[in-house]
């Protein structure tokens, strides 16, 4: 938890009161972004499919962070906080967090470097789907929120 103290001290995250409504709002947003990503890939808009799939993961990750009573101040801070806060959670594996970090990189490449592909977008949508399912399971949130 030294890492968590450092994140708080460096203002990468802040303590908040856990709020189930906020958690559910983020899960709903994650589902909407995933649906949008699927529509974008069907339309062959691979950049937006990549961005939307990442944001599905981002909102799901935020929901988990909010459930723990924290709010992020940056995307990277969110990833670091999850690594610290989910260490004892079997469902949130290091591999799952690695995939979230890779999704972050792909989103940045698509958004800022205009580097994207159908293959990466499709893989990211699959990853986002699995990520969201895992977060829903951990939070005890049913499919329809």
Q: What is the mean pLDDT of residues 35-46?
A: 98
CA distance to 37, 56, 109, 121, 138, per residue, from 72 (Å): 24, 16, 22, 25, 19
d(CA 103, CA 121): 10
Are 145 and 27 contacting, i.e. CB atoms less than 8 angstroms apart? yes
CA distance to 7, 9, 93, per residue, from 98 (Å): 19, 24, 9
Q: What is the mean pLDDT of residues 56-61?
A: 98
Residue 38's closest CA among 56, 26, 59? 56
| Token pair 């856990």 in the structure block, residue | 18
CA distance to 55, 63, 83, per residue, from 36 (Å): 10, 19, 27
pTM of the model: 0.93
Where does the pLDDT of residue 1 fall: very low under 50, low under 70, confident under 90, or very high at 90 and above? low
pLDDT in tens, 59-106: 999 999 999 999 999 999 999 999 998 888 889 999 999 999 999 999
pLDDT in tens, 11-23: 989 999 998 999 9
pLDDT at 144: 61
Q: Where are the domains of the chain?
A: 2-139
Query: How far is residue 67 CA from its own chain's centroid?
Result: 14
145 pLDDT exceeds 80?
A: no
Are 91 and 131 contacting, i.e. CB atoms less than 8 angstroms apart? no
Just give the CATH number of 2-139.
1.20.120.330
CB within 8 Å of 97: residues ≥ 6 apart: 79, 82, 83, 86
β-bridge mates for residue 72, sequence order? 13
Q: What is the mean pLDDT of residues 51-60?
A: 98
């Amino acid at each position: 938890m030294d890492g968590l103290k450092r994140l708080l001290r460096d203002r990468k995250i802040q303590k908040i009161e856990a709020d189930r409504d906020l958690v559910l709002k983020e899960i709903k947003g994650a589902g909407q972004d995933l649906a949008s990503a699927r529509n974008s890939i069907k339309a062959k808009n691979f950049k937006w499919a990549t961005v939307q799939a990442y944001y599905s993961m981002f909102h799901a990750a935020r929901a988990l962070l909010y459930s723990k009573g924290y709010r992020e101040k940056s995307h990277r801070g969110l990833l670091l906080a999850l690594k610290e806060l989910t260490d004892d959670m079997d469902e949130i594996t290091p591999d799952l967090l690695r995939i979230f970090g890779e999704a972050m990189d792909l989103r940045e490449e698509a958004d800022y470097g205009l580097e994207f592909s159908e293959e990466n977008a499709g893989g990211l949508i699959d990853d986002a789907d699995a990520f969201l399912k895992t977060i829903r399971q951990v939070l005890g949130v049913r499919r329809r929120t």
